[in-house]
């Protein structure tokens, strides 16, 4: 996977901003309810599952147009740690509990002795999630995240890393 999810995040966010937010201020701050998201899933490196990961993300209690700031931390079973800050853009279905969400969260990759070599400590985490809200306001979803350094460490390699996660948020 390449930077497709990051580009999709940017394009859909800008279109959403123009269509749904510019009439009241394109990036005007709006108060939200803070959200805590926990996920767990499989880490995939060079087409092989290499273990599991847990990921905590805190969605801040404000949005700027369609963009909601987030901070996140993940740890895998090899001891690798990633920490980052970025934004998400959620799309709710007009009727029903369904949603889709795109994210872009730049962060810092701290490799353990056994972890995969990603080529550079700055890793951009972009993702796509689909799921449903429960009547209580909690949500459950499936997410595919991709981490890549975007070629920042050129000429070092940029193999990227994927995670397939089950997510729960409240």
Residue 58: how many other CB atoms lie within 10 Å = 15
For each successive 10 residues of the chain (170 residues), what is the average pLDDT?
81 90 90 97 94 98 96 96 97 93 97 88 96 96 94 79 96
* The predicted structure's pLDDT at residue 2: 67
Say what the pTM is. 0.92
Element at 140 (helix H, strand E)? strand 139-148
Cis peptide before 5 (omega within 30 of 0): no
What span, in angstroms and rounded, lies between the C-alpha atoms of 99 and 133? 8
Which CATH topology does 4-169 take? Porin (2.40.160)
Domain segments of the chain as ranges:
4-169
* Contact assessment for residue 69 and residue 86, using Cβ atoms and an 8 Å cutoff: yes
């Amino acid at each position: 996977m390449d930077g497709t999810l990051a580009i999709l995040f940017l394009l859909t966010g800008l279109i959403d901003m123009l269509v749904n937010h510019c009439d009241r201020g394109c990036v005007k701050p709006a108060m939200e309810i803070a959200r805590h998201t926990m996920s767990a899933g499989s880490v995939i490196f060079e087409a092989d599952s290499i273990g599991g990961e847990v990921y905590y993300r805190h969605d801040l209690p404000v949005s700027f147009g369609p963009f909601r700031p987030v901070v996140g931390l993940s740890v895998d079973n090899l001891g690798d740690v990633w920490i980052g800050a970025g934004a998400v853009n959620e799309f709710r279905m007009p009727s029903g509990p369904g949603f889709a969400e795109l994210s872009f969260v730049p962060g810092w990759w701290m490799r353990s002795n056994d972890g995969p070599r990603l080529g550079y400590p700055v890793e951009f985490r972009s993702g796509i999630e689909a799921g449903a809200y429960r009547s209580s306001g909690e949500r459950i979803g499936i997410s595919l995240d991709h981490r890549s350094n975007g070629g920042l460490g050129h000429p070092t390699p940029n193999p990227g890393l994927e995670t397939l996660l089950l997510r729960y948020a409240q």
